[in-house]
Amino acid sequence: MDFKRVDELTAKLRTMRPLNETELKRLRGEFIIENTYDSNAIEGNSLTLRETALILQEGITIGEKPIREHLEAIGHRDAFEYVISIAGTNDPLTERVIKDIHSLVLMNDAENKGVYRKVPVTILGAVHTPPQPYLVGVKMEELIGAYKDIKREKHVIEAIAEFHLRFEDIHPFIDGNGRTGRLILNLELIKAGLLPVNIKFSDRRKYYDCFDHYYSNERTPEMFTQLIAGYEIEELERHIKILDR
């Protein structure tokens, strides 16, 4: 694993002058647009990066694209801003926070937003079946409790990666699980003093392979941990390069 490199770069970044408010706002805005595009595209949203930027920055409606896709972009943006707003408190992750994030992600579905699913689901192409709906609440409570122990025992990136894999395994909501899970992942990275990462649409095959590896290898999170560590190193190096200028 690249944990040593992550720790070295994080330490270096902390010794450098912080970005000023204007720089930080610009970088954050760019990241949110890119992350919104990629996270939604992974789930089948057809908006391009440019169209996503026009919707979020200019409030422009893309004529040939469904309103649902516009709302998915706006909801994800609002959810990411919510994540940033609560990350500084460093409070433990709770089911309430997860449901609040999901409520923003699924802003266009009043009936299901922030509510655990009430029906069985299957994931096409997956090698596992999520638990029955009556077990979802129990499984989520168990996961939140286990996560506290995992963080004490493992490097924070490995702990966050394992949480994400287990969260998606439970698949607690009828829709929006992937987007919500990736937002939680970034919430926990920011709380740990790391940078948020963007799992790119172009890397979606690698991302899906991490789940297959997890389910086929006694639920070991190494492959996904490595993917997240690689993204984290990229973000750290990018920020350091900007500050070196």
CA distance 28 to 30: 5
Q: Hey, what are 18's tokens?
A: 């912080």
For residue 197, is it left (φ>0), alpha (ψ between -120 and 50) or beta? beta
Look at residues 14, 158, 210, 190 and name the one whose alpha carbon lies nearest to residue 86: 190
- Helix, strand, coil proportions of the chain in percent (round to 5)? 70, 0, 30
Cα 205 to Cα 122, 125, 167, 219, distances in angstroms: 19, 12, 19, 19
Q: Hey, what are 4's tokens?
A: 């040593």
H/E element, 15:
helix 3-15
Which residue do the tokens 């994030």 mark? 101
Q: Please report how the helices 21-42 and 177-191 are oriented relative to each other, as an axis angle in degrees rounded to 10.
A: 150
CA distance 195 to 47: 25
CA distance 194 to 73: 24
Q: Which sequence positions are flagged as catalytic?
A: 171
Look at residues 77, 27, 28 and name the one whose alpha carbon lies nearest to residue 52: 77
| Contact present, 165 and 141 (Cβ < 8 Å) | no
